[in-house]
Structure 1
Amino acid sequence: MKNLIICMAVFGCFAFAKAQTPTASTNNKQWTLSECVQYALENNISIKQSQLDIESADADRLNAFGNFLPTANASGGVSENTGLSFNPVTNNAQTTTFLSVTGRINVGYTLFDGLRNVRQLQQAKIAQIASLYRLDKMKDDISLFVANSYLEILTNKANLEVLQSQNQVTLDQIERTKELVDAGQLPKGDLLEIQATNASEQQQIINAQNAVTISKISLAQLLLIKDYETFDIADDDYEIIDESIASKPVSEIIAGAESNRSEVKIAEKEVELAKKSLQIAKGAYYPSLSAFFGYDTRYTDATSFTQTVDPDNPVSIEQIGVVQETGQAVVGEFPNTIATLRGADPFIDQLYQNDGIAYGFQLSIPIFNGFSVRSNVQRNQVNLKRTEYQLEQAKLDLESNVYQAYVDVKGARESYEAAKKAVESQELAYNYATERYDVGLTNAFDFSQSKLRYDNSKINLNQAKFNYLFRLKVLELFFGIEPTDLKL
């Protein structure tokens, strides 16, 4: 079945990670199906990975929400510069070293970006819900796989009980045959035939015991339990089979699957995500408008030179021209300044003296970008169509799987009823053969064949019964029964 194949693929690497989980104590504990399912849901690595996907979706949603908030960034730098500079006093080049400190704060806010920030937040919310649905589907698949492994153990145990019980009959028959052979009522060949049957049954018992052990180890590995030797399941009476789900009309089961199963819900969310991606891509066609504000300041310990009036010679007289008619010189008085070396202002004073602000708006209008926006829109349109087809296919697959599960239950039920009738018939034939053998009317070979057919019919009954139970569990999951509520 498709779901079973999916489950097997999911658990391909599951069993190999068992050494990384804590050992569960299984001493003297017999696990029920619901306990196995619950334990698997709490410890399964694939489920933990799906839970990490939910956490990742939460982070994406937080990031999308952050797009509505302003951005604020601060930066600073300290540097020491050594190099050639000119001395304004001597007008000679000389090497100086000075320390400089810069600081800046920038604040930005997006006013409009084609509603892409709105679409991204909506997309993040949808992705978060889709992650929850994927987790639910993972739990259903794991529960189904656990149920199948659990029922496999029950089948192998039931088969072992049949073989052991019938072998005891064979051992009793050997004792009776010995007495008849010793009394001369039966040939020795009959005793040899039954002894050969006993040897064959002993081999089958060993194989059945190995099958029980292997199936228990398989389930223990599935549950990440390393205590294989003491792991066991509850040996309850599973003769009563609940048919409450199988008795419902298939249309009601399909309706329940559509409202409870995650396959269609996941596909629906994928369509919604594709629509949001398309809207985000189209948003790149629109202009974007943002506001900004910046503040910066600086400090340096470099010395500087200032021009001051020479106190000893405050003015100087210089010729500034000549009277053209008389040729008389025209002079003027000018302040006589000298260059004075000045140290750096205090750090705090410079922060106020050298600061500045910048603010405004920035508009970006897309004109031509090499068809990148157009091609991105086309890709998202194709992806939207693909997800719509996948949704349609998911609905068809779900309906097909429910029908298949429903038919499988009906067929398993009929097979189980037929197996019960076969056991009844083979039991009558076996009893009749036993009576004839006891009075010497049939030989040991014919008796052994009758017993073999009876044994096989009981084994077939076990397989039919537990196969029917498994098909019921599949149908229950489709109908919406919680994985932890699966019972036998």
Structure 2
Amino acid sequence: MKKLIILLLFITTGLNAQNTGNPGLSLEECIQLALDNNINLKRSHLQAETEKLNFRGTKSQVLPTINGSYNYAINKGRSIDPYTNDVIDQQFNYSNAGLRLSAQIFNGFELRNSIQRDRYNLEAAEAEKEATKQQLILDVTLAYFQVLNNRDLLNLAKLRLESTHQQTDRLKILNEQGEGNPADYTDIKGQLNNDQSAVIAAENQLEQSKLNLSSLLNMDSEVNVEEFQVLPEMDKYELSTEEIYSESLENLEVFDGQRLRINAAEEDVAVSRSLYSPEISLFAQLNTNYSSLASLLNETGTQIVETGQFINIDGTNYAVQANQGQFSQQDIPYFDQLNNNLSSVAGVSVNIPIFNGFRAKRSVALKKIQLEDARLELENTKNDYLQAIKQAHADMEAAYEDYYVLQEQVNAYEESYRVNEIRFGNGVSNIVEYIISKNNLDRSRINLANARYGFLIRVRILDYYRGV
């Protein structure tokens, strides 16, 4: 493992660069670009922010609500005088203002459970954000290795083509001079076409892997990666599948996120059960009003007026007179009315559920189903990860063993090709033996490169599952 860590550090720093004019991006730079630009990661950040706002909104419900109201209107036609409560038929202006306070005291612990539920959802969203980040780093690393692998395969294909070109040129000269077997020249031309096709296929594979990496980085332009030489030493991976799986359960954020979602679902069941409980709340209200018809009568003095009655004294009628007060009408100012007409009310409200069409029962049953689904989702994820770990571990061990077998194979085919190339050049062997020897060497080199990168990729996957 120590050598593997050295290898990964070697990759990220881009040592032994071969192309200093265009060094390309290191693995570390690609990962940082992905963390800055990847759309899925940005969406996970938005989801976490949404859960944070939901949590804050739920917590704020413990505070009392205070609402004010105000209106001003003109009334025409038959109506009730808001000042005297008399029926009138005239135009007047009126205004109302009020202030209402409401505070919930008890509702079956719905609010407490809702706060706890949204807290779990917030923590789950944060864990899922980190899980998305971990997965993105792995995907970028694997895509980066795939570009390197395909680039090595392209270089091998070009070397094959160059070697075949040299033999083709030599046989062409011999064929033009009338020496040798003409079929050797046509056979080597056919091999040249195969090698040209292999280069085209390798270039396409490299382009596809670059496009995949560009997609993860959310970049429109083509991504060029660093030129470096991978260290050939590969250490055997010592951890078993059981050890890797045990670490994944403890360290991977994806499992933490799903456990928190289960906790949130359990709290959601408790929230639904609160529909069976009575709700108790306090309320208070302050009201006032204004009417343009409201007025005061002020006494301005008195005067003697006849009452319309008479008294008879000795046969003579005398009119009865009396003092009568004199008044003037004065409108009551707007703010004076608002101050004089103040009224307040305060009380306790109790809402007792008796029958609600089985809404509470259905709600609890639905939340229980969602809870069970969350538990099954966690078990399904565990099974998927266990199978993936077993597959990656088996592939890693196969690639490790295959690598050293292929190394011996490459050494053997290199010697065989060296001998057959000399023999063919001296006219001792035929073109068929040469092509077979060349193809064997080329295939073994390709398989060796695939085994090398296959091992490194599986090791990185297993490290991801361990959460390191």
Same fold (TM over 0.5): yes
Aligned counterpart in structure 2 of residue 49 of structure 1, from 28, 43, 46: 43
Instruction: State the alpha-carbon separation in 2 of the partners of residues 47 and 56 from structure 1.
Output: 14
Aligned counterpart in structure 2 of residue 256 of structure 1, from 232, 247, 253: 247
CA 1:466–1:175 in structure 2 vs 1: closer, same or farther (change >3 Å)? same
1:267, 1:394 within 8 Å by CA — same for their partners in 2?
A: no
Aligned counterpart in structure 1 of residue 279 of structure 2, from 276, 284, 288: 288
2:303, 2:323 within 8 Å by CA — same for their partners in 1?
A: no
Shift of 1:270: 1.8
Look up the match of 2:149: 155
Instruction: State the alpha-carbon separation in 2 of the partners of residues 284 and 85 from structure 1.
Output: 43
Look up the match of 2:135: 141
Instruction: State the alpha-carbon separation in 2 of the partners of residues 273 and 318 from structure 1.
Output: 90
Look up the match of 1:324: none
1:316, 1:336 within 8 Å by CA — same for their partners in 2?
A: no
Instruction: State the alpha-carbon separation in 1 of the partners of residues 108 and 323 from structure 2.
Output: 64
1:85, 1:94 within 8 Å by CA — same for their partners in 2?
A: yes
Is the counterpart of residue 399 in structure 1 residue 380 in structure 2?
Answer: no
Aligned length: 434
2:140, 2:216 within 8 Å by CA — same for their partners in 1?
A: yes
Shift of 1:337: 7.7
Moved more, 343-352 or 246-255: 246-255
Shift of 1:76: 0.6
SS of 1:295's equivalent in the other structure is strand
Instruction: State the alpha-carbon separation in 1 of the partners of residues 48 and 306 from structure 2.
Output: 83
Look up the match of 2:18: none
Look up the match of 1:227: 221
Look up the match of 1:350: 337
1:97, 1:302 within 8 Å by CA — same for their partners in 2?
A: no
Look up the match of 1:19: none
CA 1:295–1:427 in structure 2 vs 1: closer, same or farther (change >3 Å)? same
Look up the match of 1:20: none
Shift of 1:334: 10
CA 1:434–1:395 in structure 2 vs 1: closer, same or farther (change >3 Å)? same
Look up the match of 2:211: 217
1:317, 1:334 within 8 Å by CA — same for their partners in 2?
A: no
Shift of 1:145: 2.5
Aligned counterpart in structure 2 of residue 121 of structure 1, from 115, 124, 138: 115
Instruction: State the alpha-carbon separation in 1 of the partners of residues 353 and 43 from structure 2.
Output: 41
CA 1:335–1:283 in structure 2 vs 1: closer, same or farther (change >3 Å)? farther
Unmatched tracts of structure 2, length 5 or more: 1-20, 82-86, 311-320
Look up the match of 1:375: 362
Instruction: State the alpha-carbon separation in 2 of the partners of residues 316 and 232 from structure 1.
Output: 115
Which structure 2 residues correspond to residues 14-93 of structure 1 after superposition, within 5 A? Answer: 28-84=22-78
Instruction: State the alpha-carbon separation in 2 of the partners of residues 243 and 161 from structure 1.
Output: 26
Instruction: State the alpha-carbon separation in 1 of the partners of residues 159 and 354 from structure 2.
Output: 86
Shift of 1:470: 1.4
1:153, 1:215 within 8 Å by CA — same for their partners in 2?
A: yes
TM-score, reference length from structure 1: 0.81
Shift of 1:29: 4.9
1:300, 1:344 within 8 Å by CA — same for their partners in 2?
A: no
Moved more, 433-442 or 452-461: 433-442
Render the CA deviation track for 1:373-417: whole Å, top value 9, x for unaligned. Answer: 112112222222332333333333333332222222112222333
Render the CA deviation track for 1:200-254: whole Å, top value 9, x for unaligned. Answer: 32232233223323332332233122222xx31012112435547x222333322
1:107, 1:292 within 8 Å by CA — same for their partners in 2?
A: yes
Shift of 1:74: 0.8
Shift of 1:184: 6.5
CA 1:439–1:420 in structure 2 vs 1: closer, same or farther (change >3 Å)? same
CA 1:378–1:218 in structure 2 vs 1: closer, same or farther (change >3 Å)? closer
Aligned counterpart in structure 2 of residue 192 of structure 1, from 186, 190, 200: 186
* Identical counterparts, % of pairs: 24
Shift of 1:45: 0.9
Instruction: State the alpha-carbon separation in 1 of the partners of residues 45 and 194 from structure 2.
Output: 51
2:300, 2:328 within 8 Å by CA — same for their partners in 1?
A: no
Look up the match of 1:236: 228
Shift of 1:47: 0.9
Instruction: State the alpha-carbon separation in 2 of the partners of residues 241 and 284 from structure 1.
Output: 66
